[in-house]
Amino acid sequence: MKYMFALFLCLSLSSSASADSNDQKMKFEMSCDKDEVEVTRQSDSCDPAVVVMLADYPQWRAEKGYWIGECALYNGDGEPYTSVGWPYRYSGTKSFITGNIAGSAYRQRNVFLYPPQSESNEMCKQDNPEVVGEGECGKNGNSLVFSADQAATSCSDNPALAGNIDGPFQSQFGPLYTTTELIGQDNALLYQVFLPPHMNPIQSQLTTLTKGPGSDEFNYRTRTAQGFDFATGLQTYLSFYRERKVSKQDFYAEMNKTIAEFNILDSDLCYLDGGAGRQPIDGYRAGYEQCVTHLQASFDLV
């Protein structure tokens, strides 16, 4: 399986993993073609697209469906996060996330809704305060969308590596390399994001799945994401997500309710890419229908 990473670098890596007494070598090859880096990850023993079935693993089965979350974000020093270029509150942010698996692949689509900044905030007291889009500072909220696509790109006889996947995440730096590992007692995942060739992660995120009273399946998801400066290794932010699994009907009903509560204009809905510096996405037209199209794209994975 191959991924095209539009990064301005060239390197080659090699790694090997062993299972019992058998060593299995996996090759990581990167070659440059103008401003693109092609990453090929190969296993000599099998085709992961055929052999790896994510539905075999409880954590991946739980990721399917509709999730609603409440989010909090903090600076690297533990203080509440603020952004000069994003005049909206991070406290009280709500996330609407869809996920799906098919064979060896996983897809996730997110819509984050941000409440308006307090009118008493210094951002809104300035003459002609800056906003993103067409709203007013202190009166209107805003939205961002995120996307993630991953797939198993290697096979291993080592059960400790079973169900692990990787793939590119679109960011303001270009596509970033991501990995997801299954950990814990079939109830947790570790997701990490890297900018090759740096070994420090940009983000390291732990997801823990739990069951509510009387539930036979995971219906709560708690995520903590740690952000880092990949060059220095210093902490840059910390996020805390509390999510619950809901029906499709309840998912969109609450999303509509939140849009109204945060007073988000239709012209500011679901066209800015939160992973790529809040830039407009080609082909996206602002509006509620774009939110639905973006979120339902998870289920186009077959």
Q: What are phi and psi of 275, to 5 degrees?
A: -90, -10
Structure tokens of 38?
């092609």
Residue 148 Cα to chain centre, angstroms: 5
Q: Are strands 203-210 and 220-228 parallel, antiparallel or unpaired?
A: antiparallel
Amino acid at 11: L
Q: How far apart are CA 75 and CA 82, in angstroms?
A: 8
Structure tokens of 162?
């079973």
pLDDT at 31 over 60: no
Contacts for 32-36 with beta carbons within 8 Å, 24 or more apart?
35/6, 35/7, 35/8, 36/4, 36/5, 36/6, 36/7
Number of other CB atoms surrounding residue 250 within 10 Å:
13
pLDDT in tens, 239-296: 999 999 999 999 999 999 999 999 999 999 999 999 888 999 999 999 999 999 999 9
- The residue whose two tokens read 């037209």 is 285
255-261-262-266 Cα dihedral, nearest 10 degrees: 60
C-alpha radius of gyration, the chain, whole number: 20
Fold assignment, 46-300: Lipocalin (2.40.128)
What pTM did the predictor assign?
A: 0.81
pLDDT in tens, 198-247: 899 999 999 999 999 999 999 999 999 999 999 999 999 999 999 999 99
In the beta sheet, which residues pair with residue 245? 67
Q: How far apart are CA 143 and CA 113, in angstroms?
A: 5
Q: What are phi and psi of 206, to 5 degrees?
A: -105, 130
Q: How far apart are CA 158 and CA 21, in angstroms?
A: 10
Q: With pLDDT > 90 as the criterion, what percentage of the chain qualifies? A: 67
pLDDT in tens, 108-141: 999 999 999 988 888 898 888 889 999 999 999 9
Residue 199 Cα to chain centre, angstroms: 20
Count CA within 13 A, CB hemisphere, residue 99.
21
Q: Where are the domains of the chain?
A: 46-300
Q: Are 236 and 230 in contact (CB under 8 A)?
A: no
In the beta sheet, which residues pair with residue 93? 71
User: Got the DSSP string for 186-213?
Assistant: TTEEEEEEE-TT--S-SEEEEEEEE--T
pLDDT in tens, 190-199: 999 999 888 9
